[in-house]
Amino acid sequence: MTNKKPATKQELEYQQLVSERAPKSKVLAQCVKAFLSGGLICCIGQLFRDFARLCLHLGETDVASFTAIVMVFLGAMLTGVGVYDRIGSWAGAGSVVPITGFANSIVSPAMEFRPEGFVLGLGAKLFSIAGPVLVYGIGASIVVGLVSLLF
């Protein structure tokens, strides 16, 4: 795809030097943080789930919808008041993977591109981050659906 010739010896040596010197991400510590924060978010989700089931006496499908709606709302609200990015800088994948992270990925471009107008700014950029997730998520579910239909 690129127009470049194969890497020269000088380039390879330099890239080696760069990777030796570059400060590394603390993978293990990050995994622990992600586990704790992601787990905490899921526990909060579970609380709302139990609340819907035990207090509101909703059916199984409604319980799932209720929990998703509440968690998306929380993610969106925390993004709106400028807290979610701070949680994210500590939690990493822990706050990206749960459904609150999905809300964050939609609300943050909406806020960012509002000055460019409602249609070509907010509207067009709303799914600029979540878009690929939707495309391949829906794509994969079609494939899985076809497979389960056939076998």
Partner 1 sequence: MRNKCIGRRTVAFACPPRILAGETVVSKIEGEGPLGKFFDTVLEDDTWGEKTWELAERKMFEHVVRAALEKANLSPGEVDILLGGDLLNQIISANFAARELGIPFIGLYGACSTMAESLLLGAMLMDGGFASCVACAASSHFCTAERQYRMPLEMGTQAIPTAQRTVTGAGCTLLADDTLIAKAQYQAVYVTHGVIGRVVDLGVKDAANMGAAMAPAAADTFVTHLRETSQTAESYDIVVTGDLGRLGGELFQELCKKENVDVAERHVDCGNIIFAPDQNVNCGGSGCACSAVTLNGYLLKRLEAGDFRRMFFMATGALMSTTSGMQGESIPGVAHGLVIERR
Cα torsion for 101, 103, 109, 111, to the nearest 10°? -120
CB of residue 3 to partner 1, shortest distance in Å: 8
Q: Are 109 and 126 in contact (CB under 8 A)?
A: yes
Start-to-end C-alpha separation, the chain = 39
CB of residue 43 to partner 1, shortest distance in Å: 19
Among 5-13, 41-49, 53-61, 62-70, which window interacts with partner 1 (CB under 8 A)?
A: 5-13
What would the x/- binding string for partner 1 be over residues 26 to 65, using CB under 8 A?
----x-----------------------------------
Quote the distance between the C-alpha of residue 111 and its chain's center: 17
Task: Compute the distance between CA of residue 60 and CA of residue 53 in angstroms, rounded to an integer.
Answer: 8
Task: Compute the distance between CA of residue 40 and CA of residue 47 in angstroms, rounded to an integer.
Answer: 11
What would the x/- binding string for partner 1 be over residues 107 to 136, using CB under 8 A?
xxx-xxx-x-------------x-------
Residues near partner 1 (CB under 8 A) are 1-4, 7, 10-11, 14-15, 17-18, 21-25, 30, 79-80, 82, 84-89, 91-92, 95-96, 101, 104-105, 107-109, 111-113, 115, 129
